[in-house]
Amino acid sequence: MRKRILVLLSLLILLVIMVYIGLQHFVFSYQEVSIINKSELAVNIYASADDHDDPTQYTGQSLKTIKGSTTFKMKKGSYVIVTEKNDSYKQIILPLYLEDSHAHIDIKPQYSDEKLQLMLVQELPAITEAIRKTYQDISSYYTQEPGWLYEKGEWYATKLKYVGQGDIFKNDTLRIILHKESGVWKVITLPPDIVISHVLYPQIPREILIDINNFR
Protein backbone atom coordinates (compact mmCIF):
# COMPACT_ATOMS: atom_id res chain seq x y z
CA MET A 1 0.00 0.00 0.00
CA ARG A 2 2.81 2.35 1.08
CA LYS A 3 4.79 1.54 -2.03
CA ARG A 4 1.75 2.28 -4.18
CA ILE A 5 1.33 5.68 -2.51
CA LEU A 6 5.01 6.44 -3.11
CA VAL A 7 4.73 5.49 -6.77
CA LEU A 8 1.57 7.59 -7.19
CA LEU A 9 3.20 10.52 -5.39
CA SER A 10 6.26 10.29 -7.63
CA LEU A 11 4.07 10.14 -10.73
CA LEU A 12 2.10 13.15 -9.47
CA ILE A 13 5.30 15.15 -8.90
CA LEU A 14 6.48 14.17 -12.39
CA LEU A 15 3.14 15.27 -13.83
CA VAL A 16 3.34 18.65 -12.03
CA ILE A 17 6.86 19.16 -13.35
CA MET A 18 5.82 18.24 -16.88
CA VAL A 19 2.94 20.73 -16.68
CA TYR A 20 5.37 23.37 -15.33
CA ILE A 21 7.77 22.75 -18.22
CA GLY A 22 4.87 22.86 -20.65
CA LEU A 23 3.70 26.18 -19.21
CA GLN A 24 7.20 27.57 -19.46
CA HIS A 25 7.47 26.60 -23.10
CA PHE A 26 4.02 27.47 -24.32
CA VAL A 27 2.84 30.33 -22.10
CA PHE A 28 5.93 31.96 -20.57
CA SER A 29 7.69 31.98 -23.93
CA TYR A 30 5.32 34.76 -25.01
CA GLN A 31 5.71 38.39 -24.01
CA GLU A 32 3.49 41.45 -24.21
CA VAL A 33 4.39 44.28 -26.58
CA SER A 34 2.80 47.72 -26.55
CA ILE A 35 3.16 49.80 -29.69
CA ILE A 36 2.35 53.47 -29.27
CA ASN A 37 1.75 54.85 -32.73
CA LYS A 38 -0.15 58.11 -32.98
CA SER A 39 0.56 58.49 -36.68
CA GLU A 40 -1.37 57.14 -39.63
CA LEU A 41 1.66 55.02 -40.64
CA ALA A 42 1.27 51.24 -40.65
CA VAL A 43 3.90 49.34 -38.62
CA ASN A 44 5.21 45.93 -39.76
CA ILE A 45 7.04 43.45 -37.56
CA TYR A 46 9.60 41.15 -39.18
CA ALA A 47 11.83 38.38 -37.82
CA SER A 48 15.35 39.67 -37.19
CA ALA A 49 18.09 38.44 -39.51
CA ASP A 50 20.25 38.10 -36.36
CA ASP A 51 23.01 40.16 -37.93
CA HIS A 52 25.19 41.20 -35.00
CA ASP A 53 26.71 44.10 -36.94
CA ASP A 54 23.34 45.51 -37.94
CA PRO A 55 20.42 44.61 -35.64
CA THR A 56 17.97 46.36 -38.00
CA GLN A 57 18.41 43.69 -40.73
CA TYR A 58 15.27 41.62 -41.12
CA THR A 59 14.17 38.60 -43.08
CA GLY A 60 11.03 37.05 -44.61
CA GLN A 61 7.50 38.36 -44.75
CA SER A 62 5.90 40.70 -42.25
CA LEU A 63 4.73 38.69 -39.22
CA LYS A 64 2.27 41.32 -38.08
CA THR A 65 0.93 44.64 -39.36
CA ILE A 66 -0.39 47.23 -36.92
CA LYS A 67 -2.21 50.53 -37.39
CA GLY A 68 -2.50 52.86 -34.42
CA SER A 69 -1.59 51.98 -30.81
CA THR A 70 -2.12 48.46 -29.52
CA THR A 71 -0.90 45.81 -27.05
CA PHE A 72 -0.48 42.16 -28.02
CA LYS A 73 1.60 39.06 -27.26
CA MET A 74 4.45 37.68 -29.34
CA LYS A 75 6.88 34.82 -28.89
CA LYS A 76 10.08 35.95 -27.18
CA GLY A 77 12.92 36.63 -29.61
CA SER A 78 14.49 39.24 -31.86
CA TYR A 79 12.36 41.21 -34.28
CA VAL A 80 12.59 44.36 -36.38
CA ILE A 81 9.89 47.02 -36.48
CA VAL A 82 9.53 48.81 -39.83
CA THR A 83 7.12 51.61 -40.66
CA GLU A 84 5.58 51.74 -44.13
CA LYS A 85 7.28 53.83 -46.82
CA ASN A 86 5.69 57.22 -47.32
CA ASP A 87 6.83 60.33 -49.22
CA SER A 88 6.20 62.63 -46.25
CA TYR A 89 7.81 60.50 -43.51
CA LYS A 90 11.18 58.92 -42.87
CA GLN A 91 10.98 55.16 -42.63
CA ILE A 92 11.58 54.04 -39.04
CA ILE A 93 13.46 50.75 -38.54
CA LEU A 94 13.90 49.65 -34.93
CA PRO A 95 15.23 46.40 -33.43
CA LEU A 96 12.84 44.78 -30.93
CA TYR A 97 14.14 42.30 -28.37
CA LEU A 98 11.39 40.46 -26.55
CA GLU A 99 12.72 39.05 -23.33
CA ASP A 100 11.45 38.88 -19.75
CA SER A 101 9.74 42.24 -19.54
CA HIS A 102 6.83 43.93 -21.28
CA ALA A 103 8.22 45.87 -24.27
CA HIS A 104 6.99 49.41 -24.96
CA ILE A 105 7.74 50.83 -28.39
CA ASP A 106 6.98 54.47 -29.07
CA ILE A 107 6.82 55.17 -32.79
CA LYS A 108 7.78 58.81 -33.29
CA PRO A 109 7.25 59.60 -36.95
CA GLN A 110 9.57 62.14 -38.48
CA TYR A 111 9.09 64.03 -41.70
CA SER A 112 11.34 63.09 -44.61
CA ASP A 113 14.42 65.22 -45.34
CA GLU A 114 12.76 66.55 -48.51
CA LYS A 115 9.67 67.69 -46.64
CA LEU A 116 11.77 69.27 -43.86
CA GLN A 117 13.86 71.12 -46.47
CA LEU A 118 10.71 72.58 -48.02
CA MET A 119 9.41 73.60 -44.59
CA LEU A 120 12.76 75.20 -43.72
CA VAL A 121 12.52 77.60 -46.66
CA GLN A 122 9.27 78.93 -45.20
CA GLU A 123 10.37 78.92 -41.56
CA LEU A 124 13.88 80.37 -41.90
CA PRO A 125 12.92 84.08 -41.81
CA ALA A 126 10.99 83.58 -38.52
CA ILE A 127 13.84 81.50 -37.08
CA THR A 128 16.47 84.08 -38.02
CA GLU A 129 14.33 86.83 -36.51
CA ALA A 130 13.92 84.87 -33.24
CA ILE A 131 17.72 84.44 -33.00
CA ARG A 132 18.32 88.12 -33.77
CA LYS A 133 15.79 89.18 -31.13
CA THR A 134 17.47 86.98 -28.50
CA TYR A 135 21.03 88.04 -29.43
CA GLN A 136 20.81 91.51 -30.95
CA ASP A 137 24.55 91.86 -31.65
CA ILE A 138 24.99 88.29 -32.96
CA SER A 139 25.89 89.46 -36.47
CA SER A 140 29.03 91.20 -35.13
CA TYR A 141 30.35 87.82 -33.99
CA TYR A 142 28.69 85.05 -35.98
CA THR A 143 27.09 84.14 -39.30
CA GLN A 144 24.21 81.74 -39.17
CA GLU A 145 24.28 78.66 -41.43
CA PRO A 146 20.91 77.76 -43.01
CA GLY A 147 20.57 74.87 -40.56
CA TRP A 148 18.21 71.91 -40.37
CA LEU A 149 14.69 71.17 -39.18
CA TYR A 150 14.06 67.95 -37.25
CA GLU A 151 11.22 65.60 -36.37
CA LYS A 152 8.00 67.22 -37.61
CA GLY A 153 9.65 70.57 -38.22
CA GLU A 154 9.27 71.79 -34.63
CA TRP A 155 13.01 71.63 -33.85
CA TYR A 156 15.69 73.66 -35.60
CA ALA A 157 19.46 73.46 -35.16
CA THR A 158 22.31 75.28 -36.83
CA LYS A 159 25.93 76.29 -36.49
CA LEU A 160 27.15 79.82 -35.87
CA LYS A 161 30.49 80.54 -37.55
CA TYR A 162 32.73 83.12 -35.93
CA VAL A 163 33.34 86.25 -37.99
CA GLY A 164 35.06 88.43 -35.37
CA GLN A 165 38.34 89.94 -36.53
CA GLY A 166 41.71 88.59 -35.42
CA ASP A 167 40.66 86.76 -32.29
CA ILE A 168 42.06 83.25 -32.55
CA PHE A 169 41.14 82.57 -28.91
CA LYS A 170 37.39 82.50 -29.43
CA ASN A 171 36.85 81.67 -33.09
CA ASP A 172 34.96 78.53 -32.17
CA THR A 173 31.86 77.43 -34.06
CA LEU A 174 28.80 77.43 -31.78
CA ARG A 175 25.61 75.39 -31.97
CA ILE A 176 22.17 76.85 -31.40
CA ILE A 177 18.81 75.07 -31.10
CA LEU A 178 15.32 76.53 -31.38
CA HIS A 179 11.91 75.02 -30.69
CA LYS A 180 8.57 76.09 -32.14
CA GLU A 181 6.04 76.53 -29.36
CA SER A 182 2.46 77.60 -30.15
CA GLY A 183 3.62 78.76 -33.57
CA VAL A 184 6.50 80.87 -32.19
CA TRP A 185 10.19 80.03 -32.52
CA LYS A 186 12.13 80.20 -29.23
CA VAL A 187 15.88 79.84 -28.61
CA ILE A 188 16.42 76.89 -26.21
CA THR A 189 20.21 76.89 -25.91
CA LEU A 190 20.97 79.88 -23.74
CA PRO A 191 23.70 80.59 -24.62
CA PRO A 192 24.63 78.75 -27.83
CA ASP A 193 27.75 76.68 -27.15
CA ILE A 194 30.57 74.66 -28.72
CA VAL A 195 28.83 71.45 -27.63
CA ILE A 196 25.18 71.27 -26.64
CA SER A 197 24.92 68.84 -23.75
CA HIS A 198 22.00 66.47 -23.22
CA VAL A 199 22.71 66.75 -19.48
CA LEU A 200 22.00 70.50 -19.60
CA TYR A 201 19.15 70.28 -22.13
CA PRO A 202 17.33 67.00 -21.48
CA GLN A 203 14.22 68.40 -23.19
CA ILE A 204 15.99 68.41 -26.58
CA PRO A 205 15.84 64.98 -28.27
CA ARG A 206 19.28 63.36 -27.97
CA GLU A 207 19.34 62.39 -31.67
CA ILE A 208 19.18 66.09 -32.62
CA LEU A 209 22.06 66.93 -30.26
CA ILE A 210 24.22 64.07 -31.55
CA ASP A 211 23.57 65.19 -35.12
CA ILE A 212 24.36 68.88 -34.61
CA ASN A 213 27.35 68.21 -32.31
CA ASN A 214 29.02 65.55 -34.43
CA PHE A 215 27.80 65.30 -37.97
CA ARG A 216 26.90 68.73 -39.31
Partner 1 sequence: MVRKRTVIFGLIAFSVVLCLIFLRPTGKTSGNNTIDIEVTPSRSSITLDGKRVSEGKSRVPDGKHTIKVMHKGFETQEQTVEISGSEELYVGIPLSPNSSETYNWYKEHDKDKQKADAMASKTYDQNSSNMTQSNPIVAHLPLPYGQERYAIDYAPSQINNNGIIIQITAEDSRGRQYALQQIKDWGYDPTDLEIEFLDFNNPLRD
- Judged by CB under 8 A, does residue 11 bind partner 1? yes
Which residues fall within 8 angstroms of residue 158, CB to CB, at 6 or more apart? 144, 145, 146, 147, 148, 175, 176, 212
Residue 191: name the closest of 172, 175, 215 by CA.
175
Among 23, 36, 184, 200, binds partner 1 (CB under 8 A): 200
Is residue 98 within 8 A of residue 76, CB to CB? The reply is yes
Residues 6+ apart with CB under 8 A from 51: 57
Rg of the Cα atoms in the chain: 27
Stretch of 50-58, 91-99, 116-124, 190-198 contacting partner 1, by CB under 8 A: 190-198
Number of residues that bind partner 1 (CB under 8 A): 39
* 174: helix, strand or coil: strand
CB-nearer residue toward partner 1: 18 or 36? 18
In a 3-state reduction of DSSP, which class is residue 62?
A: strand
Backbone dihedral angles phi then psi of residue 18, each to the nearest 5 degrees: -60, -40
Q: Which of 106, 164, 177, 188 binds partner 1 (CB under 8 A)?
A: 164
CB of 118 to partner 1, least distance (A): 28
* Interaction of residue 195 with partner 1, rule CB under 8 A: yes
Work out whether 129 is an interface residue with partner 1 (CB under 8 A): no
Minimum Å distance from CB 68 to partner 1?
33
Considering beta carbons, is residue 152 or 198 the nearer one to partner 1? 198
- Contact between 145 and partner 1 by CB under 8 A: the answer reads no
Q: Taking CB under 8 A as the rule, which mask of x and - marks residues 14-33 in contact with partner 1? A: x--x--xx------------
Contact 81, 43 (CB under 8 A): yes
Binding site for partner 1 (CB under 8 A): 3, 6-7, 9-11, 13-14, 17, 20-21, 135, 138, 141-142, 162, 164, 168-174, 191-200, 206, 209-210, 213-214
